[in-house]
Structures are given as structure tokens and as C-alpha cells.
Amino acid sequence: MVHRTYVCKRYARYDTIHAMKQRITLSIDPSASARAKQLAHIRKTTVSGLIEQFLQKASLFDKEEEKSFALRWAGKFSSAPTKSGDIRMRALKKRFDLA
């Protein structure tokens, strides 16, 4: 299990990397604070956990980096017209579900 967080220190114990989390201060409306606490209670987490989950899901760069080359380019190209007797092209189209 690897924890992906913003860290100030890291230390390894067995096969798990534990991370020290960094504290930040946010200023939000009191009603928003109350709603965040209610939501955190419902989801059985903390307000910090809610914000961390939101930021991980909202990060555009992490999602792009996680995708493999094949997934980023899937569906971006089309095959050139070929002769109907091309055995290799038929096999490739069948293997990769191409029309």
C-alpha cells in the first residue's frame, strides 16, 4: 500500500510507505464548515480527508500521468483502406475490435 500525499517527511516500514501530512489553514464560511463536518460524519472521515479526496479527484495532471500511452491515444487513429484479402489487417481488426 502506498499513500500518495503531500509530505514533509517519509519513512519506510516493511512494505508500506507512511507519510507525514502537512497542515494548512483554510478560511471558509461557517455554514460551509458545518456542512463539511456533517458530510465528513456521514462518510465516516474527517474534513481534512474530504478535502484531500476532492483534490486528488480534481487533479488533472495526476490523471493524465496515470494513463498509459495506449489509453491516451486509443481511438485517435483510423486504419487506412486495405485490400479485402489482407490477412494481417483482418487479424488486427478482429483482435482490437476495429471496424
Residues 46-93: pLDDT tens digits? 999 999 888 877 766 655 566 777 777 777 877 777 777 788 888 888
Q: Over the chain, what HEC string results?
A: CECCCCEEEEEEECCEEEEEECCCCCCCCHHHHHHHHHHHHHCCCCHHHHHHHHHHHHCHHHHHHHCCHHHHHCCCCCCCCCCCCCHHHHHHHHHCCCC
Count of structural domains within the chain:
1
Using left for φ > 0, alpha for ψ between -120 and 50, and beta otherwise, residue 23 falls in beta
Q: Is residue 83 part of a domain?
A: no
Query: What is the domain range of residue 31?
Result: 7-73
Q: Is residue 91 part of a domain?
A: no
Q: Is residue 11 part of a domain?
A: yes
- pTM for this one? 0.43
